[in-house]
Amino acid sequence: MAVSDSDLIQAWTQVLTLSRLKRGDTVTVLTTEGVTHPQTLRCAMTAAGLLGARVNRLDLAPVNGEKSLSRDSLAYLGTTPLSGNRAAIAALKASDLVVDLMTLLFSPEQHDILQGGGKILLAVEPPEILLRMVPNEADRARVLACGALLERSREMRVTSAAGTDLVCPLGEFPVVKEYGFVDEPGRWDHWPSGFALTWPNERATRGRIVVDKGDILLPMKSYVSDPIVMEVEDGYVTSITGGMDAELLSDYMESFNDPEAYAMSHIGWGAQNRARWSTLGLYDREATIGMDARAYAGNFLFSLGPNNEVGGSRSTACHMDIPLRRCTVSLDGREVVAEGRLIEERLAEAEAAS
């Protein structure tokens, strides 16, 4: 269903207000030539202007088109239109808020901006997805509770009836809490979102992951039709077996010619009740990056590839996000997700303890 400008401006106003945008603040909207959604851009700039901000637009030409196998902005990481562009980086560092309609994720330029105290809000999904998942304070409280559970734990174990049995020691890397707005200096977030994640200790994850029928591969944005079995040793996927889906995944990852592509990256679970597992099937693949799949409540989301987002040394252009259904996630032996259902009592306990 199409979205009206008035509704989207109201949504942007809510998100920017939650992000503590003040009159006189400088907002730079970062866009990609020919790619950024025009309604999202128009309404974001209007809302920021109505709130009294000084609004600039920085439009840059896309890169990596000759390298990436997909048009998805998360399909090839590392270099961005900002790489080596000192003038553009200076403008963004001088801004109180960067509205990222381009996708800077996993880039050194993003870290540089955040370290200077700037805030970055990523928003690249279509307007109707943004409108359905406009963040609020309840989303923040829910995600912070999930994050608190992760922060006090030293081991995550994930099991499923399909055969997943994965052990991930924790504590080496920080916990990231994504709730959809940027209310603190130096904060990055993504609208829409609603999940908590961390990275397992380097070279410590072991076990087996079974990507079952109906689970989702990103950036392929496809539902798996037959199981994919991944064996994990010393923090790396050492084998990928199964039918056609396993062959497609293997071929895609091999194209990067990088052993770091097979390293365990972030792990966590979705907590967003307005996100739906089924939504991906309703969109053209080039119309969405699949945030519903990443955020729907009760998924187990694991990733392969980089850890430089949280200070690790591993960077790779390949980044796989794979949300699984019907998993049980335990922290230090205590279940927080049971067969794909988020245990609300655990969240309530974490909120009460904070």
Q: Summarize pLDDT for 202-231 with one digit per residue, the tens.
A: 999 999 999 999 999 999 999 999 999 999
Residue 197: both structure tokens together = 């994640």
Average pLDDT over residues 6-31: 98
Beta strands, E only, the chain: 26-32, 54-60, 97-100, 119-122, 155-160, 165-169, 176-178, 188-190, 195-198, 206-211, 216-217, 222-223, 228-233, 236-242, 264-270, 300-304, 320-324, 327-331, 334-338, 341-342
> Measuring CA to CA, which residue among 156, 181, 182, 180 is closest to residue 169?
156
- Specify the pLDDT at position 79: 76
User: Does the pLDDT at position 237 exceed 80?
Assistant: yes
Cα 59 to Cα 31: distance, rounded to the nearest angstrom: 5
53-85 pLDDT, tens digit per residue, is: 999 999 998 887 777 777 777 777 777 888 889
Residue 217 has a CB neighbour count (10 Å cut-off) of 21
| pLDDT band for position 32 (cuts 50, 70, 90) | very high
Residue 91: both structure tokens together = 């403008």
Long-range (24+ apart) CB contacts under 8 A made by 59-66 are 59/31, 59/32, 59/33, 60/30, 60/31, 60/32, 60/33, 60/85, 60/88, 60/102, 61/32, 61/33, 62/32, 62/33, 62/34, 62/35
Average pLDDT over residues 178-186: 97
| pLDDT band for position 314 (cuts 50, 70, 90) | confident
Average pLDDT over residues 150-156: 97
Minimum mean pLDDT among 77-81, 181-185, 247-251: which range? 77-81
pTM of the model: 0.95
| pLDDT band for position 172 (cuts 50, 70, 90) | very high
- Specify the pLDDT at position 240: 98
User: Does the pLDDT at position 90 exceed 80?
Assistant: yes
- Specify the pLDDT at position 72: 74
Q: Taking a C-beta distance cutoff of 8 angstroms, is the pair 300, 337 a contact?
A: yes
Q: In what order do the strands lie in the sheet with 188-190?
A: 54-60, 26-32, 97-100, 119-122, 188-190
| pLDDT band for position 47 (cuts 50, 70, 90) | very high
User: Does the pLDDT at position 297 exceed 90?
Assistant: yes
Q: Taking a C-beta distance cutoff of 8 angstroms, is the pair 297, 342 a contact?
A: yes
Average pLDDT over residues 40-51: 98
User: Does the pLDDT at position 33 exceed 80?
Assistant: yes
| pLDDT band for position 10 (cuts 50, 70, 90) | very high
Provide, rounded to the nearest whole percent, the portion of the chain with pLDDT above 70.
Answer: 100
Phi-psi region of 71 (alpha: psi -120 to 50; beta: other; left: phi over 0): alpha
CATH superfamily of 5-132: Response regulator (3.40.50.2300)
> Measuring CA to CA, which residue among 128, 59, 101, 99 is closest to residue 284?
128
Average pLDDT over residues 287-296: 96
Q: In what order do the strands lie in the sheet with 206-211?
A: 236-242, 228-233, 206-211, 165-169, 155-160, 327-331, 334-338, 341-342
- Specify the pLDDT at position 170: 98
Cα 30 to Cα 62: distance, rounded to the nearest angstrom: 12
> Measuring CA to CA, which residue among 57, 38, 42 is closest to residue 95?
57
Average pLDDT over residues 239-254: 98
Average pLDDT over residues 38-45: 98
User: Does the pLDDT at position 341 exceed 90?
Assistant: yes
User: Does the pLDDT at position 104 exceed 90?
Assistant: no
Using a 10 angstrom Cβ sphere, with 0-12 exposed, 13-18 middle and 19 or more buried, the burial of residue 281 is: exposed
Cα 229 to Cα 112: distance, rounded to the nearest angstrom: 38
**Where in the chain are the domains?**
5-132, 137-353
Average pLDDT over residues 146-157: 97
- Specify the pLDDT at position 343: 97
Q: Taking a C-beta distance cutoff of 8 angstroms, is the pair 300, 328 a contact?
A: no
